[in-house]
C-alpha cells in the first residue's frame, strides 16, 4: 500500500442530487400549472411561505424537505458550474 501519496476523493452527496432533482420537478410542476416558476421559487425562498409552491405533483411537500440554505447552495453551485463551462 502506497502511503506516501495522498489521494483526493470527493463524493457528491445524495442530498445535493436530491435538491437538484426536486428543484427540477418543482419547476416543471409550476410550469404545468401555468405559474412563472422562477418568480414562484424566488417567492418561496425569500418568504419561506410554502404557498408559493403548488401542491400539484407533490411539489410543495418535496421542496419542504430542504432548507432555504440548501436550495440556495444548490442554485449557486449550479450557476457557478455553468459559468465555468461558458468560459
* 2-49 pLDDT, tens digit each: 567 776 656 555 555 589 999 999 999 999 999 999 999 999 999 999
pLDDT at res. 16: 53
All 3 cell numbers of residue 73?
A: 447552495
Q: Which long-range contacts (CB under 8 A, 24 or more apart) does 56-65 make?
A: 56/29, 56/32, 57/25, 57/28, 57/29, 57/32, 59/25, 59/26, 59/29, 59/30, 62/22, 62/25, 62/26, 63/22, 63/23, 63/26, 65/18, 65/22
- Is 51 within the bounds of a domain? yes
Q: What is the pLDDT of residues 57-77, one digit of tens each?
A: 999 999 999 999 999 999 999
Classify residue 6: in a domain, yes or no. Answer: no
In a domain? residue 69? yes
Q: How confident is the model at residue 86 (pLDDT cuts 50, 70, 90)?
A: confident
Is residue 1 assigned to a domain? no
Range of the domain at 77: 14-86
Does residue 48 form part of some domain? Answer: yes
- Asked if residue 53 lies in contact with residue 46, where contact means CB atoms within 8 angstroms, the answer is no
Number of independent structural domains in the chain? 1
Q: What is the pLDDT of residue 11?
A: 57
pLDDT of residue 55: 98
Tell me, yes or no, whether 5 lies in a domain.
no
- The length of the chain in residues reads 87
Amino acid at each position: 500500500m502506497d502511503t506516501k501519496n495522498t489521494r483526493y476523493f470527493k463524493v457528491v452527496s445524495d442530498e445535493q442530487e436530491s435538491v437538484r432533482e426536486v428543484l427540477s420537478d418543482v419547476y416543471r410542476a409550476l410550469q404545468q400549472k401555468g405559474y412563472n416558476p422562477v418568480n414562484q421559487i424566488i417567492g418561496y425562498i425569500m418568504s419561506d411561505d410554502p404557498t408559493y409552491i403548488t401542491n400539484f405533483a407533490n411539489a410543495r411537500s418535496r421542496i419542504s424537505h430542504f432548507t432555504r440554505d440548501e436550495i440556495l447552495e444548490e442554485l449557486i453551485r449550479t450557476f457557478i458550474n455553468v459559468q465555468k463551462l461558458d468560459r
